Structure 1
Amino acid sequence: MRAFECRRCGNPLYFENTACVSCGAELGFSREERAIVPVDEQGRYVDAEGLVWWRCANRELAACTWLTRFEGTLCFNCVLTRTRPNDHDPEGMRAFPGAESAKRRLIVELDALELPIVTRAEDPENGLAFDLLSSANEPVTTGHQNGIVTIDLAEGDSVHRERLRRDLDEPYRTLLGHFRHETGHYYESQLVQGDLIEAARDLFGDERADYQEALDRHYADGPPAGWTDRYISAYATMHPFEDFAETFAHVLHIADTIDTAQSFGLTSVDVGAFRSFRDLVTGVWIPLSVALNQINRSMGKDPLYPFVIAGPVLDKLEFVAALSPRFRAL
């Protein structure tokens, strides 16, 4: 996530800012410009080409500041939400803005990686959409199927999430991480085609293996011995689909954190100077994540990135990153 500043006064801004705390300017996010821009009292922004943009209709409901072409309509990010909690579900509605905030970050990341986002309107059968569901009154399973990413809004509650993280013995569990992982399933179905299928099987295993059997085995027996030599996480050992999705999520973890560190002057890395994503990981990410882990420990907290990246995992990261036009040319 890049560093932003107010176009009126130059004050630093955060991605979630709705107004500049220095000059009071009302703000909106332009996906086309990848920038936070000032809007007038009516929530209107006129770009350099004279096109008029308006704040998303979900500003109050989901704390959305993104811009849309027509007044009173939803922005690109909000249109991707197929299902949200019922208005009469207070618990779900309280969690809804946090989930949309994480999704907005995801969309910015996907745009930065130049990954195609095909909507349900463009492809009714397999286009990307999100069901953000409340488990307050009925069970919800976070997952992906045929382009539909389902997120249990309870994952936005830190107590609930931490309890599951401990129960499942996971070193890392976040709402944004769920969005990244489940979207990884979508991109595997869309981008791993033709000759790439066999290449993916060589790295991740045969995705045709029975998923339910793999699921039952994983929760009965746990990960195999020595799994850290070949997998990024214990969950990745369950099935080739999960190995790919976990790897995809880590590509986003790594790419976005490096971009953020560069934007805020924590590293002067030039991504174009590296020949491969593998080199970027070993040359920048590993030293940076070690430093970030130590900073967290200095604050009495757990490591920020509690993962070991073995050689075979580097191969998988390189494969997934190369699906992005941004890294394909390295």
Structure 2
Amino acid sequence: MRLYACENCGNSIHFDNRTCISCGSQLGFSSESLLLHALQPVDGGWKTMSSLPQSVFFCANAAHDICNWLVTAGDGNAYCVACRYNRIVPVTDNPEGLERWQRIGQAQRHLFYSLLRWRLPIPGRDIDPQGGLVFDFLADEVDANGNVIPAMTGHEDGLISLRAAEANDATRESVRVSMGEPYRTLLGHFRHEIGHFYWGQLVRDDDTLALARQLFGDEREDYAEALQRNYEQGPPADWQTRFISTYASCHPAEDFAECWAHFCHIVDTLETARSFGISTDPRRHEDMAAEVDFDPYRAHDAQTLVDAWIPLSVALNSLQRSMGQADSYPFVLSASVVEKLNFINALIQRAGNRQYSLGNRQ
């Protein structure tokens, strides 16, 4: 994620900021320029202090302090590029529901930032009624005996469902611990489930599908049987040499989605490090030296990303331990996983209309 500067006073501002704390300017994010703009009121709407010539207004969800993204005048949609894909959202008539919606919206906008940076296709149900992207943020149900039935997080034919209760830290952490997971966040859910969506969008032609199956396995494998086997027997003994996580080892579709999510984690965090000028160069540990002197969203290959990511992630984990916190990135990138990440990088670059082949950069 980039670090931004207020167009009015030059103060540093961040992706989720609504107001510049230095000059008080109202701020809004444009999905066209991918910049956080300082705004000035004009004719019942707003105008940016630079870059965008047209008038803009805030996404309708700004009324509940859920979204700070902008919509251009004449767009014809009251919601921004991210929020317009939502179908079922948390209620806003009570503090708990409103807080859930705010946290979910924050993670969703972070997801869409990456999709827009990569210029990936994002067909909605207006374009593809059967398989277009749509989000349902679902509340848990209570049966006749008062037992809570948790809503499910998942993907099916373009529909991404997310359990709204996981916006609560205690709920999400209890699930993480009970499932023995090293990492579980709202943003992680979004990135994983969108990976399933882009399998259907980008892995279509015969050559791409053949290479994907060579790397991840045959996605036609019975999903229910694979999950049952995983729950009963656990992951294969050598899973760390072939998969990014134990969950990735249970089925080829989950392997792809997990690798997609981790690719997003790595790229966006590297962009943040680059924006802040972070580099690592520990004395007498030359192998841990790294500098992000390239645009991670336009990386030539996954190895370039990994060479910078491993030293940075080790430093991040060490900083976390110094604070008594768990590792930020408790995962190992084996040669097999890097190969899968390289496939995803090429797939994304090709989809963004850049001249890449799936094997090598042209």
TM-score, normalising length: structure 2: 0.86
Q: Would you say 1:127 and 2:128 are equivalent positions?
A: no
Higher relative contact order (CA 8 A, sep 6+): 1
Greater alpha carbon shift after TM alignment, 64-73 vs 13-22: 64-73
Greater alpha carbon shift after TM alignment, 39-48 vs 186-195: 39-48
1:111 CA displacement: 1.3
Q: Would you say 1:281 and 2:298 are equivalent positions?
A: no
Q: Would you say 1:293 and 2:317 are equivalent positions?
A: yes
- 1:9 is matched with 9
Structure 2 CA distance, aligned partners of 1:92 and 1:328?
45
- 1:21 is matched with 21
**What does 1:146-161 correspond to in 2, within 5 Å?**
146-161=157-172
Q: Any idea what the Cα deviations from partners look like across 1:130-170, whole Å, max 9, x if unmatched?
A: 11112264531100011111111111111111111111111
1:104 to 101, 109, 113: 109
1:65 CA displacement: 0.9
Conserved 8 A contact 1:92-1:134: no
CA RMSD after TM alignment: 2.1
- 1:162 is matched with 173
Q: Would you say 1:200 and 2:212 are equivalent positions?
A: yes
Conserved 8 A contact 1:53-1:70: yes
**What does 1:170-319 correspond to in 2, within 5 Å?**
170-194=181-205, 195-267=207-279, 268-271=291-294, 276-319=300-343
Structure 1 CA distance, aligned partners of 2:305 and 2:340?
12
Q: Any idea what the Cα deviations from partners look like across 1:186-211, whole Å, max 9, x if unmatched?
A: 00011011111111111111111100
- 2:62 is matched with 59
1:90 CA displacement: 5.5
Structure 1 CA distance, aligned partners of 2:348 and 2:270?
16
Structure 2 CA distance, aligned partners of 1:298 and 1:246?
28
Greater alpha carbon shift after TM alignment, 188-197 vs 261-270: 261-270
Structure 2 CA distance, aligned partners of 1:127 and 1:172?
29
Q: Any idea what the Cα deviations from partners look like across 1:84-130, whole Å, max 9, x if unmatched?
A: 12455654333011101100000001111222111221222211111
Conserved 8 A contact 1:37-1:45: no
Conserved 8 A contact 1:232-1:309: yes
1:178 CA displacement: 0.2
The 3-state SS of whatever aligns with 1:39 is: strand
1:95 to 84, 92, 100: 100
The 3-state SS of whatever aligns with 1:76 is: coil
Conserved 8 A contact 1:271-1:280: no
Conserved 8 A contact 2:90-2:100: no
The 3-state SS of whatever aligns with 2:18 is: coil
- 1:140 is matched with 151
1:48 CA displacement: 4.3
Structure 2 CA distance, aligned partners of 1:180 and 1:93?
23
Unaligned runs of 5+ in 2: 143-148, 280-290
Q: Which amino acid aligns with 1:67?
A: L
Greater alpha carbon shift after TM alignment, 255-264 vs 294-303: 294-303
Structure 2 CA distance, aligned partners of 1:302 and 1:313?
23
The 3-state SS of whatever aligns with 1:68 is: strand
Structure 1 CA distance, aligned partners of 2:250 and 2:106?
30
* 1:99–1:136 distance in 2 versus 1, CA, 3 Å: farther
Conserved 8 A contact 2:66-2:101: no
- 2:283 is matched with none
Q: Which amino acid aligns with 1:54?
A: F
TM-score, normalising length: structure 1: 0.94
1:220 CA displacement: 1.6
Sequence identity percentage: 44
Conserved 8 A contact 2:85-2:134: yes
- 2:34 is matched with 34
* 1:48–1:309 distance in 2 versus 1, CA, 3 Å: closer
Q: Which amino acid aligns with 1:130?
A: F
The 3-state SS of whatever aligns with 1:54 is: strand
Structure 2 CA distance, aligned partners of 1:328 and 1:162?
42
2:345 to 313, 321, 325: 321
Structure 2 CA distance, aligned partners of 1:67 and 1:118?
20
Q: Any idea what the Cα deviations from partners look like across 1:215-235, whole Å, max 9, x if unmatched?
A: 111112211111101000000
Structure 2 CA distance, aligned partners of 1:13 and 1:290?
27
Structure 2 CA distance, aligned partners of 1:215 and 1:49?
49
Structure 1 CA distance, aligned partners of 2:355 and 2:166?
33
Conserved 8 A contact 1:177-1:249: yes
Q: Count the aligned residue pairs.
A: 330
Structure 2 CA distance, aligned partners of 1:90 and 1:11?
32
